[in-house]
Structure 1
Amino acid sequence: MTLCTTCGTPSLTQFASPDLVAKIVYEGHDRADDPAWRESGAATLEDYARWCAHLCGIACFRMALGPDAPSLFELRDGALKYGAYTEDTEGVIHGLIYAPFAEYARDVHGVEATVHRHLALDEILQLLDEGRTVMTSVHFEIRRPERPAPGRGGHLVLLTGRTPDGLLHLHNPSGIDARSRTAELSPEAFEPFFAGRGVSMVTRMGVSATR
């Protein structure tokens, strides 16, 4: 486990092998061909391969909980019991669903979690300044912010603070390299990817907002 030198938050991915993320998300690499899958806490390779692409939010939560957090799939199992993920009749996975997730975070992990169904960028800055981490809905291509944003939402990243010069410090569970897994973006660069919703949290880890 690698701790971020800027904020002390673990840098984790939703896939068990960080060096395979780029191949998985851009080259169609088979998620079942991940030699480290057992480290996720999944009971079987099939379960890992089916779920890992859906666990960006749980990976964010795991980072927010700190180095002693349960495994990715132990957190997934807990979230499932609260209805934070659902499966339709065709077996399609839906989630992370914010309200039951926040209930799970509060009840099981003692995390003060608040759902923000409508969240403006300046409100994110205020939440960070209050010492909260903020899990935000963004387009997954935020991992390559130098390119035009193709859309908003569909993926979750964890904002842990902002730098003295106002850059947002974020952890991306599907980052393809070290630079995109822990990144610093200006609010202006972040905004085109941002869907205007998220969940803010206060954890026992006590991450402060401004670096």
Structure 2
Amino acid sequence: MARDAGGRVSLCSACQVPSHTQFASPDLVERIVYGELDRAADPAWAESGAVTLDDYARWCGHLCGLTCLRMALGPSAPSLFELRDGALKYGAYTEDADGTIHGLVYAPFAEYVRDVHGVNATVHRHLTVAEITALLDEGRSVMVSVHYEIRRPNRPSPGRGGHLVLVTGRSADGGLHLHNPSGIDAGTRMADMSLSDFEPFFAGRGVSLR
């Protein structure tokens, strides 16, 4: 992460983007996301910045978007739950009376990112794969809505949307380089995908960051 003369964050292809998962123990992600292990059994939960285990277990499955932001902000980024607390103040997540969590809501999220972190965040309610590559060429990173099964791209996509990944650049063959907050191993947490393999998972919306 670099800063300009005004102290604002600059996100560029030359910056080293770290890999983070929305679950505190990367080696347990596969067991957690496929139901073999309860989130509350994550031994590293406190490293997320959550104050209590119950808070961690209830929220970690909803924080893919903030994990993308945390990666984009670089090594000096706040903890995941510090970002959660900040985003809540802007209404980027909502909760029903029964405790059901909804979000990430793009517009207040973008406002939060601009106001608090000094990053230019633009909401794209209609976005094509070609437009993603154009945004990358402008030096932007792009949080995109995809189906969570993008972590198993060798299988047919079951749908589109519901999960956020961070696209940080182009792969050597002209595809996309992405960081997946719920990747189940090193190769799916930082992955290169061809445009044709990516498209069936993509919901056509996202938020670009610069």
Q: Normalized against structure 2, the TM-score is what?
A: 0.92
Return the letter of the residue paired with 2:153: P
Consecutive unaligned residues of structure 2, counting only runs of 5 or more, are 1-13
Question: Are residues 1:114 and 2:114 paired?
Answer: no
1:13 — aligned with what? 21
2:96 — aligned with what? 88
What are the within-5 Å matches in structure 2 for residues 190-201 of structure 1? 190-201=198-209
For residues 37-80 of structure 1, what are the alpha-carbon distances to aligned partners after superposition, in whole Å with 9 as ceiling and x for unaligned? 11000010000000000000000000000000000000000000
CA RMSD, aligned part only?
1.0
In the alignment, the residues of structure 2 paired with residue 66 and residue 149 of structure 1 have an alpha-carbon distance, to the nearest angstrom, of 30
For residues 165-210 of structure 1, what are the alpha-carbon distances to aligned partners after superposition, in whole Å with 9 as ceiling and x for unaligned? 20200000000000000000001000000000000001xxxxxxxx
In the alignment, the residues of structure 1 paired with residue 188 and residue 15 of structure 2 have an alpha-carbon distance, to the nearest angstrom, of 15
Question: Are residues 1:130 and 2:138 paired?
Answer: yes
1:169 — aligned with what? 177
Over the matched positions of the two proteins, sequence identity in percent amounts to: 76
2:4 — aligned with what? none
The one of 99, 103, 110 equivalent to 1:102 is 110
Displacement, 1:7? 6.4
Return the letter of the residue paired with 1:82: Y
In the alignment, the residues of structure 1 paired with residue 71 and residue 36 of structure 2 have an alpha-carbon distance, to the nearest angstrom, of 26
Return the letter of the residue paired with 1:113: A
In the alignment, the residues of structure 2 paired with residue 132 and residue 31 of structure 1 have an alpha-carbon distance, to the nearest angstrom, of 33
CA 1:28 to 1:63, structure 2 compared with 1: closer, same or farther past 3 Å? same
The one of 146, 166, 178 equivalent to 1:158 is 166
> In the alignment, is the contact (CA less than 8 A) between 2:18 and 2:75 conserved in 1?
yes
List, as ranges, runs of 4+ consecutive aligned residues in structure 1 with deviation greater than 3 Å: none
In the alignment, the residues of structure 2 paired with residue 74 and residue 7 of structure 1 have an alpha-carbon distance, to the nearest angstrom, of 23
1:63 — aligned with what? 71
What is the aligned residue count? 197
Displacement, 1:164? 3.8
In the alignment, the residues of structure 2 paired with residue 71 and residue 96 of structure 1 have an alpha-carbon distance, to the nearest angstrom, of 17
2:10 — aligned with what? none
1:143 — aligned with what? 151
In the alignment, the residues of structure 1 paired with residue 123 and residue 187 of structure 2 have an alpha-carbon distance, to the nearest angstrom, of 28
Displacement, 1:89? 1.6
Displacement, 1:107? 0.1
In the alignment, the residues of structure 1 paired with residue 98 and residue 39 of structure 2 have an alpha-carbon distance, to the nearest angstrom, of 20
> In the alignment, is the contact (CA less than 8 A) between 1:57 and 1:157 conserved in 2?
yes
Return the letter of the residue paired with 1:108: V
The one of 77, 83, 86 equivalent to 1:75 is 83
In the alignment, the residues of structure 2 paired with residue 165 and residue 20 of structure 1 have an alpha-carbon distance, to the nearest angstrom, of 31
